[in-house]
Structure 1
């Protein structure tokens, strides 16, 4: 069984610490990040792409229920287990397709059972996997060049940068204009790329580090000179991703 990657979202540091410690006792389960509010949690989800989010409900800056609704709208949403001190939100919580609703203080056994539920495939899911057709070709992207339309190998791309009306793909052979928007590309290839700026996606596997330059940070990528700028909002999450990769 593969590791279940978990993001902990709670505005109370002690609650996050407790959940982190409890996760360490559950097989095939690891905490990959923490967030204290909905805004930073959304960024962490975009950067770390967790399988499961342990989510508090009442937090400053935005309700956990609203965040759950945002996550549920993603193409490949993480599973959500609410961990809260309030029992009155159970019905709206399950309306977001939550996998569990645990009341604080959460015990290790309660958490283990809820996680096990996430790890199990339902009968319809098993049937879908067994009857799945050959997946579509996601190894190439339609691109525009001097020769017309061509197909660019996705695994050669180091970063994708939106510039006005088009997106530039940077790769060892140079730059190529793509035929799709940055948002469309993120939906298709989100597992390969991570957003570091509102206009930039970088390939996870080619990240080699961060470089500070004139008060800002840039991501250094293997194989290209281009070093995309990291926004201040994304910086902590990008640092966490790099630390996880080391």
Structure 2
């Protein structure tokens, strides 16, 4: 992919440039602030913009907001020394948030996610940013890589365990500190409760099978994992299966 790097520190830009090249991508330009980055986006049409937050003239958040007005904006990955702007960053359609000093593996993983982001997902993020969508189209999770963006349509299930919820998605697992009750209230049209500690993504629902007398589990499309189904939620799940 073609990458534009925006950071007000020359040494920071050069280090990122080396990591990008080592990851097998091409640096088309560098910019010292958001204003210059906007001009170079129009000139070079990069696939991805690696964007710092705190910069003179125009900071990264302002730059990302300005990019949402473009017809085909680059994917934005924030690279910054602070995690305090993560939520605001994702509201400006960022697909990644890396904390400095960035290591090679984390950057490579973020760029790989960017390469898989299709046009439909970009449009969903832009719609959410402009208030055209009633719910989020992604889940944010803080991991060892920083803040990660998990597309909602890639999530198989949410599984509660004490104070955290595991998000099982196409790329693996992450932990979030939201509750199942909150998630069910927000995404009840796309997920169904199968147990007091589990919400299942309806599009990935493949079937129900009996494992013992009175005990059932659910099968997923795409993965071999199973989730237990409680007796309380079994009738609702069967009704949903008949509707699919």
**TM-score where L is the length of structure 1:** 0.48
**TM-score where L is the length of structure 2:** 0.48
Q: Whose relative contact order is higher, 1 or 2, with alpha carbons under 8 Å and at least 6 apart?
A: 1
